[in-house]
């Protein structure tokens, strides 16, 4: 049963193997995933015992300068 307009790809055995989503729904899911990943990373950083570093220093380290 599809309640959100998804269309499923079915294999020869009748198993759902993929889903087709409206591009707007797909974009919303990607955005939500990215937000949850950022929250997870924040929570991990907050729970760690590492010493915080200034933002500018973090950017330099990421850029390799």
| CA 20 distance to own-chain centroid | 18
> Where are the domains positioned within the chain?
7-63
Tell me what the mean pLDDT of segment 45-58 comes to.
90
Q: What is the mean pLDDT of residues 7-14?
A: 96
pLDDT of residue 65: 64
Q: Where are the alpha helices (DSSP H) in the chain?
A: 23-47, 55-63
The whole-angstrom separation of Cα 11 and Cα 18 is: 9
**Residue in the structure block whose two tokens are 């500018």:** 56
The single-letter DSSP state of residue 10 is E
Check whether 30 has a pLDDT greater than 60. Answer: yes
pLDDT higher than 50, residue 57: yes
On whether the CB atoms of residues 6 and 20 are closer than 8 A, the answer is: yes
pTM over 0.95: no
How distant is the alpha carbon of residue 51 from its chain centre? 27
State the pLDDT at residue 32.
98
* Residue 1 banded pLDDT, cuts 50, 70, 90: very low
């Amino acid at each position: 049963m599809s309640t959100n307009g998804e269309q499923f790809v079915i294999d020869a055995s009748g198993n759902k193997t993929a889903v087709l989503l409206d591009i707007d729904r797909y974009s919303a899911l990607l955005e939500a995933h990215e937000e949850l990943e950022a929250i997870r990373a924040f929570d991990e950083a907050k729970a760690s015992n590492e010493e915080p570093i200034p933002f500018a220093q973090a950017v330099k380290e990421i850029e390799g300068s």
